[in-house]
Structure 1
Amino acid sequence: MAEDVGRSHRRRELREFLMSRRARVSPAEAGLPDGGARRRTPGLRREEVAVLAGVGASWYQWLEQGRDISVSPQVLDAVARVLRLSGTERRHLYVLAGLNPPVPEVAPEQRDMCEGLRRLIDTWMPYPAHIMDAYYNCVQYNAAAAIVLGMRQEGTQNCLVDFFTDPLYRSRSKSWEKNARTVVAQFRAASSARPDDEGYQELLDRLHADSPEFAALWAERDIEDAGQIRKELDHPLAGLLVVESTAMRVPARPDLTIVLHTPLDEANTAAKLEWLASPQARRGAMYPVAG
């Protein structure tokens, strides 16, 4: 019963969504004559959408009416193109039509968000924070990430590779063995969402070549969604630090992950992190902070 109610609601939403998107596209925008004053329909007619998308007029009418018909990603993409849908709207169309939505893409107008995200991680000081792209490459990191986690320009600049191969990070991480299993399981979840992405395969090949420990954990086939990880670190200046890393996504930038480290109520971690960010502690740091 609940399933039938949900399906009925989705079909009703599909009908209203398609009608509203069709009404906002003018014939001129679609490359058609506007018909002058004789045109009563705002935007495109159903028949025009069908012709431009290369589908039958009856089939498109049934789609817009929310009937139980067979749809394919190729046809939905054609309709999305004609209706000039954004990436978010295209994914919404898939969901309303009962298909798995495509992988999110970054809209052109959102590509300049990095400055705002930089302000975010800088505001997180004195706690470590960094930003990764889809392939775990470090895009930006704040000064605390350099001081506490050892992030630095001379590293590989790939967080996953550094986790397994950077001797500095390994020497500081007291929870490395426990966390390694979770890190690999989360990477499997991320890569499985894009099975044909060559970037993930290249990273996977590199990790197999560089780290037997990674290869052994990968063979166990564990999988987890990204979330929170407890990290215990032995810092050369501050001693034991206990933090919780949280991986967060910004829907407008699905290609980026923000990782924020929050001090836990153990080992006086918050106070130690504040001290490490002070000028006095920075002068004694082993590595320079990020500029």
Structure 2
Amino acid sequence: MPRLDGPPHRRQDLQTFLREARARVDPAEHGLERPSDRRGRQVPGLTQPQMDVLLHSRTGTYGSFERGVKTNPSTDYLDRLARYLKLNPQEWESLWRHTYGHNPPYALDPGAGLDVAPVWRRVVHEMTTMAFLSNICWDLLDCNSAFAEIFPDGKPPENVMRWMLLDDVARDEVLMDWEDEWAPVIIPQLVAVRRAYPADPTLQELENDLHGDPRAARVRRRIAAAFTRPDSDDRPLRHPVLGPGRARLGAAEPLVNPGARLMVVEFEPDHP
């Protein structure tokens, strides 16, 4: 586990960051009394002892972490701390950078990205190649007309992973050689995210339906499910308009919306 060490300014930055985050939270929301100063006046926010109560930790544990004395917090501790402080996706990244010196390997909320910045929606629609935005559960947030064309009825699905994994039109007509070329790559992505967010209902339902579908379950049983990222994949695809060809995938994450995905799909037909 990474340790909170490094220059003093990092510890000071963490202390300031957490102190300001505590001040924004009303203790009454958690059934706690608002603290008072020495003059008896109520002050805003949660106190350090109240954080210990909420986090079910020993008295002084949170204070030690905020001051930079506690140097080995678990990721579970950070998860619970971030939820009680109601950190947004950007603040969640800041907490990890202040604590461990790098960005978190996963989003705090798997549904994050539903309010993806308008600039990214404009980028998607201005692209001439296929492009779409999704959250970490693969719920489709937005797409351009080029991406909509790969669906025979012209209507993109609500969830891209469900379509790729379980839709017979996808498996038999669009995603060529589905069992050998597509399923062994997309199933490990679902498995990895499902393990990162075991309580998310969308991912739970996707996994249950995966095991309940004979074709998908057969592939799942024969692969090791080693996680691979979709970036730079090259797979066969039959475009409803342009015919068969190769699809090259590129993936990115908008920094302002951690957990959201920007996917770009370049298609080169076999016979232009």
Structure 2 unmatched ranges of 5 or more: 28-33
Secondary structure of 1:9's aligned partner: coil
Q: Residue by residue, what CA displacement relative to the aligned partner does 1:191-249 show, whole Å, maximum 9, x if unpaired? A: 11112223212112223334x22101222341314322212233454334322012322
Match in the other structure for 1:242 = 246
Counterpart contact for 1:247–1:257, Cα < 8 Å: yes
Normalised by the length of structure 1, the TM-score is 0.64
How much has 1:24 moved relative to structure 2?
8.4
How much has 1:259 moved relative to structure 2?
1.7
Establish whether residue 158 from structure 1 lines up as the match of residue 150 from structure 2.
no
Amino acid at match of 1:186: Q
Amino acid at match of 1:199: T
Residues 172-191 of structure 1 mapped to structure 2, 5 A cutoff: 172-176=174-178, 177-191=180-194
Alpha-carbon distance between aligned partners in 2 of 1:53 and 1:68, rounded to the nearest angstrom: 15
Counterpart contact for 2:106–2:196, Cα < 8 Å: no
Alignment equivalent of 1:138, drawn from 137, 140, 153: 140
Aligned-pair Cα RMSD in Å: 4.4
Match in the other structure for 2:6 = 9
How much has 1:28 moved relative to structure 2?
11
Counterpart contact for 1:105–1:254, Cα < 8 Å: no
Q: Using a 3 Å threshold, how does the CA distance of structure 1 residues 256 and 101 change in structure 2: closer, same or farther?
A: closer
Q: Residue by residue, what CA displacement relative to the aligned partner does 1:142-163 show, whole Å, maximum 9, x if unpaired? A: 211222354633x753323322
Alpha-carbon distance between aligned partners in 1 of 2:235 and 2:25, rounded to the nearest angstrom: 58
Structure 1 unmatched ranges of 5 or more: 37-42, 273-291
Q: Using a 3 Å threshold, how does the CA distance of structure 1 residues 188 and 57 change in structure 2: closer, same or farther?
A: closer
Secondary structure of 2:253's aligned partner: strand
Counting aligned pairs with the same residue, the percent is 18
Normalised by the length of structure 2, the TM-score is 0.68
Q: Residue by residue, what CA displacement relative to the aligned partner does 1:162-203 show, whole Å, maximum 9, x if unpaired? A: 224232663243343312210111111121111222321211
Secondary structure of 1:216's aligned partner: helix
Establish whether residue 170 from structure 1 lines up as the match of residue 172 from structure 2.
yes
Q: How many residues align?
A: 253
Match in the other structure for 1:18 = 15
Counterpart contact for 1:11–1:65, Cα < 8 Å: no
Match in the other structure for 1:201 = 204
Secondary structure of 2:264's aligned partner: strand
- Which has the higher mean CA deviation after the structures are superposed, 139-148 or 90-99? 90-99
Q: Using a 3 Å threshold, how does the CA distance of structure 1 residues 246 and 175 change in structure 2: closer, same or farther?
A: farther
Alpha-carbon distance between aligned partners in 2 of 1:104 and 1:146, rounded to the nearest angstrom: 30
Residues 53-64 of structure 1 mapped to structure 2, 5 A cutoff: 53-54=51-52, 59-64=61-66
Counterpart contact for 1:12–1:66, Cα < 8 Å: no
How much has 1:33 moved relative to structure 2?
5.4
Counterpart contact for 2:134–2:140, Cα < 8 Å: yes
Alpha-carbon distance between aligned partners in 1 of 2:148 and 2:117, rounded to the nearest angstrom: 19
